Amino acid sequence: MNSDFVDALSSILTVLDSLLGSAPWFPFLLLGTGVFFSVYLKFPQLRFFTHAIEIVRGKFNRKGAKGDASHFQALTTAISGTVGTGNIGGVALAIYLGGPAALFWMWMTAFFGMTTKFVEVTLSHKYRVVDESGEIAGGPMYVMEKRLNMRWLAIFFAIATVVSSFGSGNLPQSNNIANGLSASFGIPNWVSGLVLASILATVILGGIKRIVLVAEKVVPVMALVYFLGALLVIAGNFSQIGESFWSIFEDAFTGSAAAGGFLGASFAFAFNRGVNRGLFSNEAGQGSAPIAHAAARTDEPVSEGTVSILEPFLDTIIICTLTGLVILSSGVWTEKHENQFQRFDTKVLEGEFSDEKDSDRIALFEFFNYREKGIELYEGNLEIREGVAMSSGFTIIHNRSVAENVKFYRDDVLYNGKIAVSGGALVDPAFVLKGKSLLHSVALTSEAFSRGLLGDYGRHIVSLTLVLFAFTTAVAWSYYGDRAMVYLFGVSSIRPYRIVYVFGFFGAAVADTSLIWLVSAITLALMAIPNLVSIFMLRNEILLDTLDYKERLVQGALRGKDI
């Protein structure tokens, strides 16, 4: 891809992200909605938790109820849409950006998000419809049109869902699978992309019935494998668990302090990244899971809303916590590792900085967290001899850390000559930089898993579960996208959408990782904002429905009709 185009696209996406998902107000909207509904509905995530488990076990199934999937199938399909790279790469990204404090805010997002998901799923199930092919179609867009009479908002949300099916469910999943398999087994990215895109096509072209069958079988297995693997790694670093937990709470309201190559993160940055990554992980408030739950076989919308509170708990409070403890207890998040630099994450700064000097660390902290002036991007030429820079007066930053032992390559050969730098970036994208810097995303989690009882075999656990997690997420999001396409253009649009979706899955395997995460953050916010506004507008309705359901549950009216 043309470097000028990549730089321009990166700049545009960065600005959009700063106005949406990374804006200071967005975490307050997301978390605030969950807090409001938790208090307003008297904490249904606690009151209905055991009841939700009973529903999933089939104790409240009714013969003849409408729907395309059982409660368990709807739950596993929705979980397959949430349990993905957010649990492996997303947690690592949150810690890399915000430090241990970010994990605390992921927990808060999950706890209050359990109520947000309860509300959005209940409403979407209540206003679901049957499409021309006889399948159930539901989601926030139908709530917005049928209940709020705001078709324009419904159309916006549906379009955002289609875009987000690529930005959240397709591109980052494929990209992280390919990178993980490449790092662990040396499989070329394009090979992984081609094989998995072919399997994806086989699954999603079969529609919702094939999707739920895959989800109900794969999701429990993949969660168990990851759970056991993480416990083995944590056991190998057991002496560090107490300190790891303390670091999560210690800096929760102050920001994370500098440690090793990690230059520190402000409270605002840790809060924002924790909430943002929490949303990417469990999708509470995004409006995606309600599309899957709308297909559940039940005539009680509140019961399906109750089932959905299990998702953020399993996804974030259990699985993401395991990932976080693996990373923190192993200590790899503060260490620099050999890796190939990606252009998006690389900057050349004017001046020489060291993360071992307090004054330099503070200056770089201000630069990364607040974009304070005082540090300028490098302009000029670098003299390179045998791959090593002979020039002085500059610092290479990669992955928000001072890079060390940097070597310059061109055509896989150590370079000799001059390299032009403009605006802190190499003018010629043909150059490849390798050296030591912090890791993030899947690479960080993979390295952490190698530091426990499993040794290097731990990387294989990450690779295997990553493939399963990310693949099932892509499958679930294809369903979300095609339901949105049905709303916008009718049943005839499903097959063309699925074909493009498969091609996108292949293309993302060879794309820039950080650019992909940026796209996902933007599309996530485009769905969440209208969805959160719409459910808040219906707060009185959800309160009455919840009270009515609770009363009938206590009276035994619901159980009395069970078959």
**Residue 381 host element (H or E):** strand 380-385
What the block records as the tokens of 541 is 């309705």
The torsion angle over the Cα atoms of residues 509, 430, 398 and 282, rounded to 10 degrees, is -20
Q: What is the pTM of this model?
A: 0.84
User: What span, in angstroms and rounded, lies between the C-alpha atoms of 35 and 16?
Assistant: 26
CA distance 358 to 374: 16
Task: Give 149's Cβ-side CA count (13 Å radius).
Answer: 0
What value does the mean pLDDT take over residues 333-358? 90
Structure tokens at 314: 């399993």
- Angstrom distance (rounded) from CA 92 to CA 228: 19
Residues 386 and 469 in one domain: no
pLDDT tier at 562, thresholds 50, 70, 90: very low
The structure tokens 């009395």 sit at: 560
H helices of 348-456, where? Answer: 358-370, 441-449
Please tell me the predicted confidence (pLDDT) of residue 2: 54
128, 118, 144, 113: which is closest to 69 by C-alpha? Answer: 128
Whole-number Å distance between alpha carbons of 322 and 410: 40
pLDDT, average across residues 85-108: 85
Per-residue pLDDT at 49: 93
- 425 and 541 assigned to the same domain: no
In a domain, 45, yes or no: yes
Residue 14: C-alpha distances to residues 360, 372, 514, 519 (Å) = 26, 17, 11, 9
Q: Tell me the one-letter amino acid at 379.
A: E
State how many domains the chain has.
2
Q: What digits encode the pLDDT tens for the residues 240-262?
A: 888 888 988 988 888 888 888 88
Whether pLDDT at 560 is above 50 = no
Q: How many residues does the chain have?
A: 563
Q: Is residue 75 part of a domain?
A: yes
Please answer whether residues 528 and 117 qualify as being in contact, where contact means their C-beta atoms are separated by less than 8 angstroms: no
Type of residue numbered 459: R
Full DSSP string of 488-544: HH-GGGHHHHHHHHHHHHHHHTTS-HHHHHHHHHHHHHHHHHHHHHHHHHTHHHHHH
Burial class of residue 555, CB neighbours in 10 A (0-12, 13-18, 19+): exposed
Q: 184-219, pLDDT tens digit by residue?
A: 778 888 888 899 889 888 888 776 677 777 777 777
Q: Which residues pair with 259 in a beta bridge?
A: 262
Residue 504: inside a domain, yes or no? yes
- Determine the Cα–Cα distance for residues 125 and 134; give it in Å rounded to an integer: 16
d(C-alpha 396, C-alpha 350), whole Å: 9
Cross-strand bridge partners of residue 382: 419
Based on the fold, state whether residues 255 and 327 are members of the same structural domain: yes
Q: How many CB atoms lie within 10 A of CB 404?
A: 15
Contact 195, 185 (CB under 8 A): no
What is the C-alpha separation between 133 and 131, in angstroms, rounded? 5
Highest mean pLDDT among 114-123, 124-133, 265-274: 114-123
E-state strands within 176-229: none
Residues 6+ apart with CB under 8 A from 426: 343, 346, 348, 419, 420, 433
- Residues of the chain above pLDDT 90, percent: 34
Q: What's the half-sphere exposure (Cβ side, CA atoms, 13 Å) at 274?
A: 33
Last residue of a domain, one of 437, 471, 492: 437
Spatial separation of the C-alpha atoms in residues 484 and 504, rounded to whole Å: 17
Q: Is the pLDDT of residue 21 over 80?
A: no
As a whole number of angstroms, the distance between CA 409 and CA 156 comes to 46
Domain co-membership, 106 together with 178: yes
**Pair 270, 226 in one domain:** yes
Q: What is the mean pLDDT of the chain?
A: 85
Q: What region, left, alpha or beta, does residue 459 occupy, with left being phi > 0 and alpha being psi -120 to 50 degrees?
A: alpha
Are 429 and 452 found together in one domain? no
Task: Out of 437, 459, 480, pick the residue that ends a domain.
Answer: 437
Nearest Cα neighbor of 500 from 478, 516, 526 is 478
pLDDT at 369 over 90: no
Nearest to 333 by CA among 103, 521, 512: 103
pLDDT at 41: 96
The residue range of the domain holding 508 is: 3-335+447-557
Q: Which residue bears the tokens 């302090």?
A: 257
pLDDT bin (cut points 50, 70, 90) of residue 512 is: low
Q: Token pair of 20, please?
A: 């949406």
Please name which of 40, 81, 37, 107 lies closest in space to residue 481, comparing C-alpha atoms: 81
Give dist(CA 449, CA 341) in Å, integer: 22
Phi/psi for 262 (5° steps) reads -75, 125
Q: Both 226 and 134 in a single domain?
A: yes
Residue 391 belongs to a domain = yes
Query: Does residue 379 share a domain with residue 326?
Result: no
Q: Is residue 15 domain-shared with residue 79, that is, in the same domain?
A: yes
Q: Is the pLDDT of residue 158 over 80?
A: yes
| 394-398 β-sheet, strand order | 346-350, 394-398, 401-402
Q: Is 91:323 a contact under the CB 8 Å cutoff?
A: yes
The answer as to whether 562 is a domain residue is no
- C-alpha angle with apex 523: 270 to 264, nearest 5 degrees? 15
pLDDT average, residue stretch 49-76: 77
> Are 433 and 517 part of one and the same domain?
no
Of 233, 241, 240, 296, the residue nearest 67 (C-alpha): 296
CATH number for the domain including 168? 1.20.1740
Whether 392 and 326 share a structural domain: no
- How confident is residue 4, by pLDDT bands cut at 50, 70 and 90? low
563 assigned to some structural domain: no
Which of 415, 437, 459 finishes a domain? Answer: 437
Reported confidence tier of residue 280, pLDDT bands at 50, 70, 90 = low
The answer to whether residue 442 sits within a structural domain is no
Both tokens assigned to 423:
């605006």
How far is the C-alpha of 367 from the C-alpha of 375, rounded, in Å? 7
The span from the first CA to the last CA of the chain, in angstroms, equals 59
Give domain status of residue 153, yes or no. yes
| Max CA distance (Å), the chain | 82
User: Tokens at residue 245, please?
Assistant: 């937990």
Does 191 share its domain with 297?
Answer: yes
